[in-house]
Amino acid sequence: MMISGKTRVLGTLALLLCSTAALADDDASASSRAAATVAKMTTDEQTILTHGIMPMALGDFGSGGPKFPDDAVPGAGYIYGIPRLNVPSLRETDASLGVAYIGGLRKDGATALPSGMAMASTWNPALIEAGGAMIGSEAKAKGFNVMLAGGTNLMRDPRNGRTFEYMGEDPLLAGTLAGAAIRGIQSNHIISTTKHFALNDYETARDFANIIVSDKNARESDLLAFEIAIEQGKPGSVMCAYNKINDHYACDNDYTLNKVLKGDWGWKGFVMSDWGAVHSPTTALNGLDQQSAWILDGKDYLGKILAENAAKDPAYAARVKDMNQRVLYAIYANKLDSDPAMKGGAIDFEAHGAVAQKVAEQGIVLLRNEGNILPLAASAKRITVIGGYADSGVLSGGGSSQVEGPGGPAVAIPLGGDGAFALFFSQAYQRSSPLKAMKALAPDTKFSFTRGDYITDAVIAAKKADVVVIFATQWSTEGVDLPDLSLPHGQDALIDAVASANPHTIVVLENGSPVLMPWLNKTAAVLESWFPGARGGQAIANILYGKVNPSGHLPGSFPASLDQLPRPALPGAETIEPDFQGKAHPGEALTIDYNIEGADIGYRWYARNHTKPLFPFGFGLSYTSFALSGLKVDAHNMTASFTVANTGSVAGDDVAQVYLTSAAGTAHERLVGFQRVSLAPGTKQSVTVKIDPRLLAEWNGTGWTVRGGQYSFALGTSAADLQPAIS
């Protein structure tokens, strides 16, 4: 496709921004209502919405602040309302995967969606929106009206401890799906955040890591993901991150908060801090609108101190009004006042579990299936199941996003440590046993289970079986990065020994991040189930037995070795002791230069270095086969059209992906469009997807420019399996 001359592309694209008149009216009304309320505020009332407490009696963190208000719900945060002006209090819960369990503090449970990587593996915005609507309804039923969700950080390094929470390595995929999740959550008339703004792509040193990145590299990667998520999801709030960006804390950062978010993107909501991420009163001038859980910062920077500063400095006084305007805009735009959240709402856990199961089933990725050993025949007489607590449940990730169902986890392995947040620190398994689900689907099969603690008994059991299904787990958590990508606890050796003893070995991975697989070629099949959520066991069994045809596609590349990464040595690994809160490092410093890879994250890094990952971005197998053909790209309409055919014998879903492969004559790989398609065997479908011109453009310092010249595109079912467009 030829593009003539230089095309300036507006930052907020009409293509993506399809705001209708009705939306515009709501927006104007929320803005004008907010201004009217601000005008009525007394001086004292002006610093109520600008800071919050943490309504959890957690060690010495929760008890230091004022007595918890009657309408507070034990959870992450609480912002006092202003009854005189009918402004509701804000009751805040984590997070992107459902209402956080917080160690059972509320003695209730919630429906756990599968992890962000599982959600992203569905490539299905409509389903992720339904998932958001489900968890948002549970938050509201428990009395929360703010959900600290919308995790949108890109997988720059698969060792990031929170990779599991996020949506992979690509800005279009992550931004589109995070935007869908936010839309779903806010459809309940509660506020969702998007987080952690921005470039918070590591965990261990998150409290003090200084990310060095150029404006161009940030705009074309992490910031683009947030820009798309914010355009498509319209979150009421953005949560700024812990780390520094070019020497300034993300919550005290004029560049990201004032220039990019509020200036260039024209975003009208409010910026809340992460918990314990505020270090100075100047945050008020550099874009922060609300200090969360101020007790964690030690000082009430955006409460008492802000009031004092506003009384003597016009710059602070102006900002106080704007801070209130923004919080009130988010409240009114999401109807928190007119459709209030109330404790004690009913929750249909059966129906909600079905939503979680559907996400899990569509997010499970079939990575290997030698000799079509899968789907399992119900006739398999003897199956040995090994490891992963598969007789009890499925693994979930650690930290503030951890969700457990009613009754709590089936298995919880505390990791010890002290401090108020230790209760978040456990390897928890949700009550959904893959083994039980397999037995229900194959009542005539003789199953045996061994925990896999010892290779000896696992090998003995494997030799007796027709088929072995070995569950391998890699737990990861907020606050700590993974030291490498190997499977822990000797699982690699276990899998190698079992697969050597029985070639009909199927590996089911329950993991937060891409892992290395030294045993891969000895196995018959590999399923990537991530942290599969409240009904993960049933989902895994349905895929293993072919009740559901696997359709997940990887949202992040699986490296073949750590040497393939931009930073093979984990930043800070030699100098910084992992610590959940990252706070045990007074005076520590760590600079991480993202300009090494710049915006070439994941598949773009592999393309730039001509290296081959273990499994590429976008990869996923099926029990049927598909053919993609006839890609045509229309430069005028900015659309790509193609045909998908199911050439196999069973129904299934495919995820067709359209990639830019060269821009203005220079090699330049980037996902520019995708579409999930459901097809009966022997049928085909024509598909047209819109292309956002920003994905063809370069950031020029003040806007996007699409350079004139030849642009090439390709169609494929992964970043490594591409067929060029018909010229």
CB 154, min distance to ligand GLC, A: 16
Q: Which of 400, 473, 542, 551 binds ligand GLC (CB under 6 A)?
A: 400
Pairwise CA distance, residues 467 & 470, whole Å? 10
Q: How far is the CB of 127 from ligand GLC (least distance, A)?
A: 23
Subset of 256-315 contacting ligand GLC (CB under 6 A): 274-275
* Partners of 249 in the β-ladder: 244
Q: 142 or 195: whose CB is closer to ligand GLC?
A: 195
Q: In whole angstroms, what is the distance from residue 369 CA to residue 527 CA?
A: 9
Q: Is 600 in the site for ligand GLC (CB under 6 A)?
A: no
Smallest separation (angstroms) from ligand GLC to the CB of 463: 46
Closest approach of ligand GLC to the CB of residue 126, in Å: 25
Q: Contacts with ligand GLC in 193-222 (CB under 6 A)?
A: 195-196
| Pick 274 or 337: Cβ nearer ligand GLC | 274
What stretches of 142-277 adopt beta strand conformation (E)?
A: 146-148, 191-197, 209-212, 237-240, 244-245, 248-249, 270-273
Told to check if 94 binds ligand GLC by CB under 6 A, we report yes
Dihedral of alpha carbons 224, 607, 476, 472, sign? positive
The answer to whether the Cα torsion of 541, 546, 551, 553 is positive or negative is positive
Using alpha carbons, select from 237, 236, 246, 168 the residue that is nearest to residue 197: 237
Q: Which CB, 396 or 400, lies closer to ligand GLC?
A: 400
Q: What is the 3-state secondary structure (H, E, C) of 299-325?
A: CCCCCHHHHHHHHHCHHHHHHHHHHHH
**CB nearer to ligand GLC: pick between 58 and 554:** 58
Binding test (CB under 6 A) with ligand GLC, winner from 30, 48, 76, 320? 76
Q: How far is the CB of 76 from ligand GLC (least distance, A)?
A: 4
Pick between residue 194 and residue 445 the one whose CB is nearest to ligand GLC: 194
- Nearer CB in complex with ligand GLC: 148/155: 148
Min dist. Cβ of residue 542 to ligand GLC (A): 31
With CA atoms as reference, report the closest residue to 262 among 345, 329, 350: 329
3-state secondary structure (DSSP) of residue 451 = coil
Which of residues 13, 53, 95, 245 is near ligand GLC by CB under 6 A? Answer: 95
Concatenating the DSSP letter of every residue in 247-283 gives TEEGGG-IIIIIIIIIIIS---SEEEEPTT----GGG
Nearer CB in complex with ligand GLC: 140/196: 196
- Minimum CB separation of residue 240 from ligand GLC in Å reads 11
Q: Which is nearer to ligand GLC, 147 or 715 (CB)?
A: 147
**Residue 99 is a binding residue for ligand GLC (CB under 6 A):** no
| Closer residue to ligand GLC in complex, CB, 116/716 | 116
481 touches ligand GLC by CB under 6 A: no
Q: Closest Cα to residue 339, out of 136, 179, 194, 178?
A: 136
238: Cβ contacts below 8 Å, ≥ 6 apart: 193, 194, 195, 197, 226, 230, 261, 267, 269, 270, 271, 272
Calculate ∠ Cα 233-293-211, nearest 5°.
65
**Residues in contact with 83: Cβ distance below 8 Å, sequence separation at least 6, in sequence order:** none
Shortest spacing between CB 77 and ligand GLC, in angstroms: 7
- The site string for ligand GLC over 141-160 (x = CB under 6 A, - otherwise) reads -------x------------
- Using CA atoms in the order 12, 248, 97, 415, what is the torsion angle rounded to 10 degrees? 160
Closest distance of CB 480 from ligand GLC, Å: 12
Q: Is the Cβ–Cβ distance between 396 and 112 less than 8 Å?
A: yes
List Cβ neighbours of 221 (8 Å cut-off, separation of 6 or more): 154, 171, 598, 599, 601
Size of the site for ligand GLC (CB under 6 A): 9
- Min dist CB 148 to ligand GLC, Å, is 4
Of 206 and 504, which has the nearer Cβ to ligand GLC? 206
Question: Footprint of ligand GLC on this chain (CB under 6 A)?
Answer: 76, 94-95, 148, 195-196, 274-275, 400
